[in-house]
C-alpha cells in the first residue's frame, strides 16, 4: 500500500505542475494574438537586417518582409478580411459540419453506436468498445459524453465490470481521437491548416485533402481498437476485480463538478449535442430508422461510384485516373457531405426526430452555433498563418531548421519520432488539435518538406502526438466530465484516480501508433490516396 500511495503522490505532484503551467497559458485567441505580434516584431527586425533565405527549388533568394513597415501595415489593412475568410479550414470544416450535425442531432450516430455495442457478444465487448471509441471522433467532442456511459451500461448488462467499459470507452475516444475509419471534420480541419502553411514552397508535394491520411487512419483504427480491447480485457478489468471496485452507481452531486467547467464552450457544445437517452436498447422507430439509413447510404454510395468510375467520367484527371490529383479528390468535401446528410435525413424522418423539412436548416444552425467559438478563433489563426506566410518568417525558420538537422545528420526517421515526442508533450498543455497543429505545423511542415517529406505524411505523424497523451492531462476539459461519471461509481475518486485508470492505455497506444507509422515509412506505402512518404 505504501508504494502505491507514494506513486500516486508523485503522479499527483506531476499533474499538478502540468495544470499550473497549463493554466498560465492565455486563451487560444490571445495566445495567437501574442504570436502574431511576436512574428510582426521579429519579421520587421529581420527585414531591417536585410535577411533573405534560399529556398531549395526557388530561382532567387526569398527576402523576409516586416509587418511593422509601410508595406506590412498596408498588407494587413487590405487583407484582414481575406485572411479570415480565406483560412482554408473554414471552407471544408463548416461544410462538412452541416451534414455531421444533422447525423448527430437526429440521433443517427448515437443509435449506430448503441446498436454496435449492444449486439457484441460478451467476450468481444472490450474490442467493440475500442473500435467504437477510436472511431467515435466522427461525433466530434460529443463522443466523450456518449461513449463511456453507454459502454458501462453494456458491460454491466453482459455481466462484466461496468467501470471497465466506462474507463475503456473514455480512453479509446480520447487517446485515439485523431484517427477514424471515416472521414471527419477533423480531417478537413487538419488538411486546411496543412495546405495553408505550404503555400510559399516551390515544391511542397501533393495537395493535402480530407482523405490524405485515410489509409493510415484505417490501419491505425484497427490496431488501436485491438490494443484498447486488450488493455480493457487483460489489464483494466482484472485490476478492477482485484480491487473489488464497485459495480453499482451511487448518487453523486454532479452540479458541483460541472460548474467548475461551465464556462468551457467545447464542453457546453458537447453536452448540448449529447442525446438524453443513453439506454443501450433501441426502440422500434430507431431500428427502422437505422435500417432505412443503411439502405440510403448504400444507394448514395452506389450513385457516387456510378458517376466517377466510367472511363469518361468528368471526375477523372487528364490521364484518366484519380491520383495524384483529380476532380474526385477535389470533391472530397461534397462526397463526405452527401454520405452523411442523406442517411441522416432518412433516419430523422423515419425515426421521428425530424418532422418537417423546415427542421433541417434549424438543426444545421445548431451545429454552426456550437462552432461559434472556433470561428472566432479562426479569425486569429487566419491572421497568424497569413502573416507567417507573407513575411517569409516561416520559410526562414524552415530553412534554418532543415539546415540544422542536416548538419547533425538528423534527417531520417528519428527526426519524425522527435517531432511526435514534441507534439505529445505539447499536447499536455494545448489540447486543441487545431491550435497545436497551427502552431507546430507552421514550422515543421515546411521544414520537413525541405527535407523531402510529404506534408500529408508529417500530418499523419502529428496525429499520434496529438491524441495519445490527452487522456492524462488536466488541461483536457473532458477529464472533468469523466470524473463526474467515475464518481457515480467511486464517490471518493479524484484526478489521481482518473490518471491511474488512463495510464495503462497511454504508452501502449503511443507505441502501437508509432509502430503503424513506422510500417508505412519502411514500406513506403501511401498514407492516403496519392500521398506517399517522400516528395517525388
Q: Which pLDDT value is given to residue 3?
A: 40
* 394/356: higher pLDDT: 356
Q: What residue has cell string 501511401? A: 526
Flag whether pLDDT at 2 surpasses 50: no
Could you tell me what percent of the chain has a pLDDT over 70? 88
Q: Which pLDDT value is given to residue 256?
A: 42
Phi, psi at 160, each rounded to 5°: -110, 170
Q: What confidence category does residue 468 fall into, taking pLDDT thresholds of 50, 70 and 90?
A: confident
Please name the residues in contact with 424: beta carbons below 8 A apart, sequence gap of 6 or more. 464, 465, 468, 469, 510
Q: Which pLDDT value is given to residue 31?
A: 82
Please name the residues in contact with 313: beta carbons below 8 A apart, sequence gap of 6 or more. 307
* 419/8: higher pLDDT: 419
Q: Looking at the DSSP assignment, which residues form a beta bridge with residue 528?
A: 531
C-beta of residue 379 within 8 angstroms of C-beta of residue 434: no
Q: What confidence category does residue 356 fall into, taking pLDDT thresholds of 50, 70 and 90?
A: very high
| Model confidence pLDDT, tens digit, residues 69-95 | 999 999 999 999 999 988 777 777 788
* 254/305: higher pLDDT: 305
| Model confidence pLDDT, tens digit, residues 443-454 | 888 889 888 899
What value does the mean pLDDT take over residues 177-197? 86
C-alpha distances (whole Å) from 514 to each of 415, 432, 507 are 13, 21, 11
What value does the mean pLDDT take over residues 184-208? 81
Q: Looking at the DSSP assignment, which residues form a beta bridge with residue 63?
A: 52
Q: What confidence category does residue 171 fall into, taking pLDDT thresholds of 50, 70 and 90?
A: very high
Report for 109-113, 419-423, 520-524: range of highest mean pLDDT: 520-524
| Model confidence pLDDT, tens digit, residues 274-331 | 665 556 678 899 999 999 999 999 999 999 999 999 988 999 988 888 866 788 888 8
Q: Which pLDDT value is given to residue 1?
A: 37
Selection from 446, 451, 453 nearest residue 411 by Cα: 451
* 24/480: higher pLDDT: 480
Residue 382, Cα to own-chain centre: how many angstroms?
A: 19
Q: Which pLDDT value is given to residue 25?
A: 66
Which residue pairs, CB below 8 angstroms and at least 24 apart, start in 52-55?
Answer: 53/392, 53/395, 53/396, 53/399, 53/400, 54/399, 55/200, 55/201, 55/202, 55/395, 55/399, 55/450
Phi, psi at 496, each rounded to 5°: -60, -35
Cell numbers describing residue 105: 442531432
Q: Other CB atoms closer than 10 Å to residue 467's CB: what's the count? A: 28
* 231/280: higher pLDDT: 231
Selection from 90, 147, 138, 410 nearest residue 274 by Cα: 147
C-beta of residue 397 within 8 angstroms of C-beta of residue 440: no
DSSP string, 237-258: HHHHHHTT---S-----HHHHH
| Model confidence pLDDT, tens digit, residues 50-73 | 988 776 656 688 899 999 999 999
Flag whether pLDDT at 268 surpasses 80: no
Q: Which pLDDT value is given to residue 260?
A: 41
Q: Which pLDDT value is given to residue 93?
A: 77
C-beta of residue 131 within 8 angstroms of C-beta of residue 180: no
Q: Which pLDDT value is given to residue 299?
A: 97
- Mean pLDDT of the chain, nearest integer: 84
Cell numbers describing residue 433: 488539435
What value does the mean pLDDT take over residues 124-142? 87
Least confident of 45-59, 266-280, 485-499: 266-280
**Separation between Cα atoms, residue 31 and residue 27, nearest integer Å:** 6
Q: Which pLDDT value is given to residue 257?
A: 42
Q: What residue has cell string 505550404? A: 198
* Element of type H or E holding 53: strand 52-53
Q: Is the peptide bond before 490 cis (omega within 30 degrees of 0)?
A: no
Q: What confidence category does residue 466 fall into, taking pLDDT thresholds of 50, 70 and 90?
A: confident
Q: What confidence category does residue 254 fall into, taking pLDDT thresholds of 50, 70 and 90?
A: very low
What value does the mean pLDDT take over residues 177-194? 87
**Separation between Cα atoms, residue 15 and residue 6, nearest integer Å:** 14
Q: Which pLDDT value is given to residue 272?
A: 63
**Separation between Cα atoms, residue 2 and residue 152, nearest integer Å:** 31
Amino acid at each position: 500500500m505504501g508504494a502505491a500511495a507514494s506513486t500516486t503522490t508523485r503522479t499527483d505532484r506531476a499533474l499538478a505542475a502540468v495544470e499550473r503551467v497549463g493554466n498560465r497559458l492565455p486563451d487560444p485567441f490571445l495566445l495567437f494574438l501574442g504570436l502574431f505580434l511576436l512574428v510582426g516584431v521579429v519579421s520587421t527586425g529581420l527585414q531591417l537586417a536585410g535577411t533573405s533565405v534560399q529556398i531549395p527549388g526557388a530561382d532567387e533568394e526569398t527576402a523576409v518582409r516586416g509587418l511593422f513597415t509601410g508595406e506590412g501595415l498596408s498588407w494587413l489593412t487590405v487583407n484582414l478580411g481575406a485572411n479570415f475568410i480565406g483560412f482554408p479550414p473554414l471552407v471544408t470544416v463548416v461544410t462538412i459540419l452541416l451534414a455531421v450535425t444533422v447525423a448527430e442531432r437526429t440521433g443517427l450516430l448515437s443509435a449506430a453506436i448503441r446498436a454496435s455495442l449492444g449486439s457484441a457478444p460478451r467476450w468481444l465487448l472490450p474490442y467493440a468498445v475500442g473500435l467504437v471509441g477510436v472511431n467515435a471522433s466522427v461525433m466530434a467532442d460529443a463522443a466523450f459524453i456518449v461513449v463511456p456511459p453507454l459502454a458501462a451500461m453494456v458491460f454491466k448488462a453482459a455481466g462484466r465490470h461496468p467501470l471497465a467499459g466506462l474507463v475503456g470507452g473514455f480512453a479509446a475516444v480520447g487517446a485515439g481521437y485523431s484517427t477514424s475509419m471515416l472521414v471527419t471534420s477533423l480531417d478537413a480541419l487538419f488538411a486546411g491548416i496543412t495546405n495553408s502553411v505550404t503555400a510559399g514552397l516551390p515544391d511542397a508535394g501533393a495537395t493535402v485533402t480530407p482523405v490524405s491520411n485515410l489509409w493510415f487512419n484505417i490501419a491505425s483504427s484497427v490496431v488501436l481498437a485491438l490494443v484498447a480491447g486488450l488493455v480493457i480485457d487483460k489489464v483494466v478489468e482484472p485490476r478492477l476485480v482485484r480491487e473489488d471496485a464497485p459495480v453499482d452507481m451511487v448518487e453523486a452531486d454532479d452540479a458541483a463538478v460541472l460548474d467548475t467547467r461551465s464556462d468551457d464552450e467545447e464542453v457546453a457544445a458537447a453536452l448540448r449535442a449529447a442525446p438524453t437517452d443513453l439506454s443501450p436498447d433501441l426502440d422500434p422507430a430507431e431500428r427502422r430508422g437505422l435500417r432505412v439509413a443503411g439502405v440510403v447510404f448504400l444507394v448514395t454510395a452506389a450513385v457516387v461510384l456510378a458517376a466517377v468510375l466510367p472511363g469518361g467520367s468528368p471526375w477523372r484527371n487528364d490521364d484518366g485516373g484519380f491520383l495524384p490529383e483529380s476532380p474526385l479528390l477535389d470533391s472530397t468535401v461534397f462526397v463526405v457531405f452527401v454520405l452523411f446528410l442523406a442517411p441522416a435525413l432518412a433516419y430523422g424522418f423515419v425515426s421521428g426526430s425530424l418532422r418537417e423539412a423546415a427542421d433541417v436548416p434549424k438543426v444545421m444552425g445548431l451545429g454552426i452555433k456550437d462552432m461559434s467559438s472556433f470561428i472566432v478563433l479562426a479569425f486569429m489563426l487566419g491572421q497568424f498563418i497569413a502573416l507567417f506566410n507573407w513575411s517569409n518568417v516561416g520559410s526562414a525558420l524552415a530553412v534554418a531548421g532543415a539546415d540544422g538537422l542536416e548538419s547533425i545528420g538528423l534527417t531520417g526517421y528519428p527526426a519524425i519520432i522527435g517531432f511526435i515526442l514534441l507534439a505529445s508533450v505539447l499536447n499536455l498543455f494545448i489540447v486543441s488539435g487545431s491550435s497545436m497543429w497551427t502552431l507546430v505545423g507552421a514550422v515543421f511542415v515546411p521544414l520537413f518538406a525541405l527535407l523531402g517529406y510529404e506534408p500529408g505524411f508529417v500530418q499523419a505523424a502529428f496525429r499520434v502526438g496529438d491524441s495519445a497523451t490527452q487522456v492524462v492531462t488536466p488541461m483536457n476539459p473532458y477529464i472533468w466530465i469523466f470524473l463526474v461519471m467515475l464518481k457515480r461509481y467511486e464517490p471518493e475518486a479524484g484526478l489521481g484516480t482518473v490518471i491511474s485508470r488512463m495510464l495503462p492505455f497511454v504508452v501502449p497506444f503511443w507505441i502501437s501508433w508509432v509502430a503503424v507509422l513506422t510500417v508505412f515509412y519502411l514500406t513506403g506505402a501511401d498514407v492516403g490516396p496519392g500521398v506517399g512518404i517522400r516528395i517525388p
